[in-house]
């Protein structure tokens, strides 16, 4: 991969806006976009059934016209692979932005939505909702089951993620908060919440255990346009909230004192950034389940590629996130054909060695 | 007792609480466990009065009540005792050896590693249950090795240990998920097991864990004097004649074996190995010969009490045991972090 050469160079601190850095960023974005498009194409071509490029092309353009003549390819492309790959890319963007924001706010390269307990809180809320809906629905009452529609899941998950993040933040607060306490409390809360999730699942939910289990492992299986539509409003809202916060995030990376002398409301800024990070991560958990380690890997790679400026990281990391999720989904779909490995399992298998290597490198 | 005990000459440790506190602690814990046991044996779908229970235990009654107590409730209670004692001891050994208050079987990934090995063995090879403790031990040892290797570079700091353990746990759970997805009809049963619980555990399970738990208990109690050496700086301990590295390896192996045996019987029951040693440390000081029996009893009490709650609170439905140990242990864990980290 061409990117590894860049990854080897040490991050250059504090580029001003003059030309060489600009050029490199532009080139990088073009390269990453090319890779994302390649990944998307590969996701269209490969899977349980391999389609020829010609069939994919005809299915893509022919779907609008009635004379396409290849219903199988059209069905696979338009109903299965296209919505799935778009949703996968969107999920990657969500986790990537959340990871970059959290690492900036925590001043800790090991922070991400999994470590901070956000994924676990969102999962518990969603599993409780599943279990409650199942209880309420009972036997043969389809109306109540329908009450837990997809549209509610990002909201429910956001509630859980926010509660978990608030708990971690509050618990680590003791005349100020330190990164060590934040990370340890995050791990503690995540451990407690996942024990509760397993407990709820084993104790209450029965009929849907397998569905929920697949969801809990972080999966894009069976995701279609509805899921994409349910997630998009959350993407839009979070993206609108993001730009005014970037300056604060940049300053926070320099330390609370420095940020305060530059006129930043430190606690307010940190809180707002955390809130937006939770919105991004938890809404994605609501739709695809807790996909681990994406934010961690991507934020780290983005920092290696473009240096410490949060604004520049936020341009690169969504692209890297989309690329990582597309690649992981493709791996999960083709390695064990016809069975399918959930994307969360693939990202964990990729992310854990990365995380361990990061740990081992630190003094 | 009026005379203050002398400092232990073999270690030079400051005197902990005196012997009577050990006897008192053991007595109090013993009474609490006995009370829990009496409740556990008499409460349930068919409640028994104290008189009936005594009659059954004395062997003067046959029939359903006898079957209920002797074949269902008693083995389950005994299994809970052994699981709790094993997990408590494992936590005590690991925390002492690493001098790290967070080093417990759960945090260091040993529980997750053992679970992974057990799930793999059951899905992949459908092995006989007798082998599960040994198989679990392989998985747990692998996880422990990986975690400790990473944390050793940073001198076993609590943060690094917790982070490395979290990553190892994540890796093991990803593999467990993958195996569960291919287990087909077994998934529901395995998932119930992964929540941690003693539902339906009988004398066969007691037989399965007994040699490991009893062996581990005897061994750790017998080596308490050496475990005391682990509190000292390595150089001091060496000059006192302890082959420190060898001892450390031995104690961690013992802890892994104890953890694996309890995971094989009860699934991954969280937080006991972390919490029991801390509760004991609040009252018993640092002498391992006093702490070890108290930790074993505390672990046994925590697990049997949690199990009693798990099967009675929502009766006739059973709640998972892991739910209650997490509810008891999680807040204590967080309080610990708040008080111990800068």
Question: Is A292 in CB contact (< 8 Å) with chain B?
Answer: yes
Q: What is the pLDDT of residues B48-96, one digit of tens each?
A: 888 888 888 887 777 777 788 888 889 999 999 999 999 999 999 988 8
Cα–Cα distance list, A262 to A105, A179, A255, B141 (Å): 16, 22, 11, 51
Q: Which domain holds residue B124?
A: 81-198+208-332
Q: Which of A187, A196, A342 is the closest to B166 by Cβ?
A: A187
Is residue B214 in a domain? yes
pLDDT in tens, A265-300: 777 888 889 889 999 999 999 888 888 889 988 998
Query: DSSP class of residue B131?
Result: G
Are B97 and B230 contacting, i.e. CB atoms less than 8 angstroms apart?
Answer: yes
Task: Give a yes or no: residue B113 inside a domain.
Answer: yes
Residue B159 in any domain: the answer is: yes
Percent of chain B with pLDDT over 70: 89
Contact A182, A109 (CB under 8 A): no
Chain B's closest residue to A202, CA to CA, is B192
Of the candidates B164, B167, B338, the beta carbon closest to that of A171 is on B338
Chain A residues 142-171 within an 8 A CB cutoff of chain B: 171
- A205 phi and psi, to 5 degrees? -75, 135
Domain count across chain B:
1
Question: Residue B118 falls within a domain, yes or no?
Answer: yes
The pLDDT-based confidence of A6 (bands split at 50, 70, 90) is: very low
What's the CA angle centered on B335, arms B255 and A270, to 5 degrees? 120
- Is A15 within 8 Å of chain B by CB? no
- Tell me the pLDDT of chain B averaged across its residues: 81
Q: Answer whether A217 sits within 8 Å of B181, measured CB to CB.
A: yes
Q: How confident is the model at residue A3 (pLDDT cuts 50, 70, 90)?
A: very low
Packing angle of the helix pair B203-222, B288-312 (nearest 10 deg): 160
**B223 pLDDT band (50/70/90 cuts)?**
confident
Residue B288 distance to chain A (closest CA, Å): 27
**Which residues have C-beta within 8 Å of that of residue A182, sequence separation ≥ 6?**
A106, A108, A111, A116, A168, A169, A172
Predicted local confidence at residue B59, as pLDDT? 78
Cβ within 8 Å of B, A 62-101: none
Residue A355 to residue B167, Cβ atoms within 8 A: yes
Give the number of C-alpha atoms closer than 13 A to the C-alpha of residue A315, restricted to the C-beta side. 16
The whole-number pLDDT of residue A144 equals 46
B167 in contact with A at a CB cutoff of 8 Å? Answer: yes
A290/B contact by beta carbon, under 8 A: no
B192–chain A Cβ distance below 8 A for any pair: yes
What is the rounded distance in angstroms from the CA atom of residue A255 to the CA atom of residue A266?
9
Would you say the C-alpha torsion A266, A267, A272, A273 has a positive or negative sign?
A: positive
CB pair distance less than 8 Å for B337 and A196: no
Report the pLDDT averaged over residues B16-26: 69
Residue scoring higher pLDDT (A8 or A84): A84
Q: How far is the alpha carbon of A62 from chain B, nearest alpha carbon, in Å?
A: 37
Is residue B285 scored above 80 in pLDDT? no
CA pair distance B19, B4, nearest whole angstrom: 10
Contacts of residue A262, defined as CB under 8 A and 6 or more positions apart, other chains included, come to: A251
- Interface list for B 104-123 with A (CB within 8 A): 106-107
Range of weakest confidence among A14-28, A53-67, A189-203: A14-28
Distance of CA B165 to the CA centre of its chain: 17
Is some CB atom of chain A closer than 8 A to the CB atom of B273? no
Looking at chain B, which residue has its C-alpha nearest residue A199?
A: B323
A291 touches chain B (CB under 8 A): no
Mean pLDDT of B193-208: 83
Across the interface, do B154 and A362 touch by the CB < 8 Å criterion?
A: yes
Say yes or no: B309 contacts chain A, CB-CB below 8 A.
Answer: no
**From the candidates B181, B192, B317, B324, which should be mutated to test the interface with A, based on the most A CB atoms within 10 A?**
B181
Q: Which residue of B has its CA nearest to A110?
A: B163
Give the nearest partner residue to A185 out of B153, B182, B334, using CB atoms. Answer: B334
On whether any CB of chain A is under 8 Å from the CB of B47, the answer is: no
CA of A55, closest CA in chain B: separation in Å?
Answer: 32
In chain A, where do the E strands start and end? none
SS3 A337: coil
Asked if residues B318 and B197 have their Cβ atoms less than 8 Å apart, the reply is: yes
Q: What is the pLDDT of residue A2?
A: 30
Whether A138 and A311 have beta carbons less than 8 Å apart is answered as no
Q: Average pLDDT, stretch A50-56?
A: 80
For B257-319, the three-class secondary structure string (H helix, E strand, C coil) is HHHHHHHHHHCCCCCHHHHHHHHHHHHHCCCHHHHHHHHHHHHHHHHHHHHHHHHHCCCCCCC
CATH number (domain holding residue B235): 1.10.3470.10
Pick the more confident residue, A179 or A236: A236
* A192 inside 8 A of chain B by CB: yes
* pLDDT 10s digits, A182-199: 778 888 898 889 888 887
B267 contacts B197 by C-beta, under 8 angstroms: yes
In this model, does residue B18 exceed pLDDT 70? no
Tell me, yes or no, whether B313 lies in a domain: yes
Q: Please name the residue that has the structure tokens 């235990």.
A: B57
Q: Does B338 touch chain A (CB under 8 A)?
A: yes
Place of tokens 């008080």: B339
Mutate to test the interface with B, among A115, A198, A207, A337 (most CBs of B within 10 A): A198
Cβ-based contacts of B333 with chain A (< 8 Å): 188, 191-192
- Give yes or no for A214 touching B (CB within 8 A): yes
Predicted confidence (pLDDT) at residue A12 exceeds the cutoff of 50: no
Is A360 in Cβ contact with B150 (below 8 Å)?
A: yes
Residue B2 has pLDDT above 90, yes or no: no
> Cα–Cα–Cα angle for B149, B155, B160, nearest 5°?
70
Q: Which residue, among A191, A345, A360, would best test binding to B if mutated, counting the most B CBs under 10 Å from its CB?
A: A191
- Reported as a pLDDT band with limits 50, 70 and 90, residue A66 is low
Cis ω before A338 (30° cut-off from 0) = yes
Quick check: A114 and B106 CB within 8 A?
no
DSSP string, A105-123: HHT-TT--TTTTTHHHHHH
pLDDT score of A10 more than 60: no
DSSP structure class, residue B69: I
pLDDT score for A218: 79
Q: How confident is the model at residue A11 (pLDDT cuts 50, 70, 90)?
A: very low
B223 or A1: whose pLDDT is higher? B223
Which of B160, B187, B188 lies closest to A359 in CB terms? B160
B114-167 pLDDT tens trace: 999 988 888 877 777 777 888 888 898 899 888 888 877 766 677 788 888 888
Return the residue of A nearest to B323 by Cα: A199
Contacts of A172 in chain B (CB under 8 A): 338
Confidence of residue A149 (pLDDT cuts 50, 70, 90): low
**How far apart, in whole angstroms, are the C-alpha atoms of residue A353 and residue B286?**
37
Average pLDDT, chain A: 80
Binary contact (B146, A191; C-beta < 8 A) = no
Chain A residue with the nearest C-alpha to that of B332 = A188
pLDDT at site A1: 29
The answer to whether residue B16 is domain-embedded is: no
**In 10 A of CB A174, how many CB atoms?**
12
Asked whether residue B227 is domain-assigned, the answer is yes
A187 touches chain B (CB under 8 A): yes
Q: Does A356 touch chain B (CB under 8 A)?
A: yes
Residues of A in contact with B338 (CB under 8 A): 171-172, 174, 181, 185
Q: B171-187: buried (b, 16+ CB within 10 Å) or exposed (e) per residue?
A: bbbbbbbbbbbebeebb
Q: How does pLDDT run across A207-229, given as a tens digit for each residue?
A: 566 677 777 777 787 788 888 88
Interface ipTM: 0.77
A202, A345, A362, best to mutate vs chain B, most B CBs in 10 Å = A202
How far is the alpha carbon of A103 from chain B, nearest alpha carbon, in Å? 15
Asked if residue B268 is part of any domain, the answer here is yes
B181 and A178 in contact by Cβ < 8 A?
no
A115: which chain B residues are within 8 Å (Cβ-Cβ)?
Answer: 163, 166
């Amino acid at each position: 991969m061409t990117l590894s050469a860049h990854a080897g160079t040490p991050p250059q601190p504090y580029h001003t806006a003059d030309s060489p850095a600009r050029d490199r960023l532009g080139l990088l974005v073009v390269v990453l976009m090319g890779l994302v498009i390649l990944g998307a194409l590969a996701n269209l071509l490969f899977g349980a059934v391999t389609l020829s490029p010609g069939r994919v092309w005809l299915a893509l353009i022919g779907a609008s016209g009635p004379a396409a003549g290849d219903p199988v390819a059209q069905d696979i492309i338009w109903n299965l692979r296209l919505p799935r790959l778009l949703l996968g890319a969107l999920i990657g963007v969500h986790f990537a932005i959340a990871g970059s924001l959290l690492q900036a706010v925590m001043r800790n390269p090991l922070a991400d939505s999994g470590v901070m307990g956000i994924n676990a809180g969102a999962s518990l809320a969603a599993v409780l909702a599943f279990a409650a809906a199942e209880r309420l629905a009972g036997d043969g009452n389809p109306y109540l089951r329908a009450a837990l529609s997809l549209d509610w899941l990002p909201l429910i998950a956001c509630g859980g993620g926010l509660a978990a993040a608030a708990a971690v933040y509050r618990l680590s607060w003791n005349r100020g908060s330190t990164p060590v306490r934040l990370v340890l409390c995050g791990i503690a809360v995540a451990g407690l919440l996942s024990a509760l999730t397993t407990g709820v699942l084993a104790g209450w939910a029965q009929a849907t255990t397998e569905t929920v289990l697949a969801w809990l492992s972080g999966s894009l299986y069976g995701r279609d346009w509805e899921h994409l539509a349910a997630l998009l409003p959350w993407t839009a809202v979070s993206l609108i909230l993001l730009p005014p916060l970037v300056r604060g995030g940049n300053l926070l990376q320099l330390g609370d004192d420095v940020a305060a002398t530059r006129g930043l409301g430190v606690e307010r800024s940190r809180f707002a950034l955390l809130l937006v990070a939770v919105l991004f991560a938890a809404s994605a958990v609501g739709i695809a389940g807790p996909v681990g380690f994406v934010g961690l890997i991507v934020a780290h790679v983005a920092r290696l590629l473009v240096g410490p400026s949060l604004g520049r990281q936020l341009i690169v990391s969504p692209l890297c996130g989309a690329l990582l999720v597309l690649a992981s989904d493709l791996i999960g779909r083709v390695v064990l054909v016809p069975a399918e490995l959930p994307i969360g399992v693939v990202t964990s298998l990729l992310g854990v060695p990365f995380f361990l290597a990061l740990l081992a490198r630190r003094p | 007792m009026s005379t203050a005990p002398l400092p232990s000459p073999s270690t030079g440790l400051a005197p902990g609480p005196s012997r009577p506190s050990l006897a008192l602690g053991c007595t109090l814990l013993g009474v609490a466990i006995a009370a829990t046991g009496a409740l556990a044996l008499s409460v349930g779908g068919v409640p028994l009065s104290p008189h009936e229970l005594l009659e059954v235990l004395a062997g003067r009654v046959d029939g359903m009540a006898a079957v209920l107590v002797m074949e269902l409730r008693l083995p389950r209670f005994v299994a809970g005792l052994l699981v709790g004692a094993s997990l408590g001891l494992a936590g005590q050994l690991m925390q002492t050896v690493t001098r790290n208050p967070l080093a417990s079987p759960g945090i260091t990934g040993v529980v997750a590693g053992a679970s992974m090995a057990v799930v793999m063995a059951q899905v992949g090879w459908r092995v006989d249950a007798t082998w599960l403790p040994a198989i679990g031990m392989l998985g747990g040892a692998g996880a422990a090795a990986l975690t400790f290797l990473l944390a050793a570079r940073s001198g076993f700091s609590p943060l690094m240990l917790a982070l490395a353990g979290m990553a190892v746990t994540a890796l093991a759970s990803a593999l467990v998920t993958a195996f569960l997805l291919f287990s087909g009809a077994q998934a529901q049963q395995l998932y119930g097991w992964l929540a941690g619980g003693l539902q339906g555990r009988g004398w066969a399970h007691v037989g399965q864990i007994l040699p490991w738990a009893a062996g581990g208990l005897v061994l750790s109690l017998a080596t308490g004097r050496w475990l005391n050496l682990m509190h000292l700086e390595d150089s001091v301990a060496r000059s006192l004649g302890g082959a420190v590295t060898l001892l450390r390896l031995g104690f961690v192996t013992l802890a892994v074996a104890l953890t694996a045996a309890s995971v094989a019987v009860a699934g991954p029951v969280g937080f006991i190995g972390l919490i029991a040693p801390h509760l004991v440390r609040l009252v018993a000081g640092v002498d391992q010969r006093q702490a070890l029996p108290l930790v074993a009893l505390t672990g046994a009490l925590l697990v049997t009490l949690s199990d009693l709650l798990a099967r009675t609170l929502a009766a006739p439905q059973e709640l998972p045991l892991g739910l209650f140990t997490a509810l008891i242990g999680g807040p204590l864990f967080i309080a610990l972090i708040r008080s111990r980290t800068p």
